[in-house]
Amino acid sequence: MSIPAVSAPDSASARLLALAEEHIRAQGFQRMRLVAVAEAAGMTHANVYRYFPSRDALADAVTVAWLKPIEAALLDAATAPDPAPDKLERMTLALAQAYRDRLEREPNLFALFVNAVEKARPAARKHRSRVRELLGRVVEEAIGEDADRRDRERMMNLLFDSMHRFISPPNLLQDRKLPRAAFDERIGAVLQIALRSFRSRAWAIDG
């Protein structure tokens, strides 16, 4: 199912999107009703379907919009002039901390994101592809353009495997009671181990 595009900030679809996000932030997706969103937007229930074909499509659009600032921050880091290892560290740390921040500040919207990940919704698949694409750019910088494609995949696998606890939304939800100081300390330690493996080319060893 495709995710409807928002044509302009003041369009009806953008208004519906903003109102749906407010409802989900306040009471959770399970309690969000299209009728209530339509009434808040000053339109009929049936008219909502002109912009979003289903409640799930509206939820996907909310999730996509909610994640865009994270993707924008990763893009800025990926295109910065810093050395590749420094960018890789900053991007991975920023991703994990952004997820944790949103879990703490907007738990209902984070729960919607987790649901999208667990059900492989289009919004979650699109976000995961974008994150892998941006990190992949920096990985290629780190290993060089002439490196074997398998080296890129090994390095990506090592990065995602080592950081899984900190960048997997369902895992973060399960670990939500872990104090933030402990979370930051652990992710820093694991990330340094992963970066040392990159520098020593441990990722290039056949398993």
Residue 41, domain CATH:
1.10.10
Say how far apart CA 169 and CA 175 lie, in whole Å: 10
Length of the chain: 207
Residues 43 and 64 in one domain: no
Per-residue pLDDT tens over the stretch 133-159: 999 999 888 877 666 777 778 888 888
pTM: 0.86
Find the domain containing 190 and state its range.
60-204
Question: What's the pLDDT score for residue 130?
Answer: 96
Residues 34 and 78 in one domain: no
Question: What's the pLDDT score for residue 201?
Answer: 61
In this prediction, what percent of the chain has a pLDDT beyond 70?
89
Question: What's the pLDDT score for residue 131?
Answer: 96
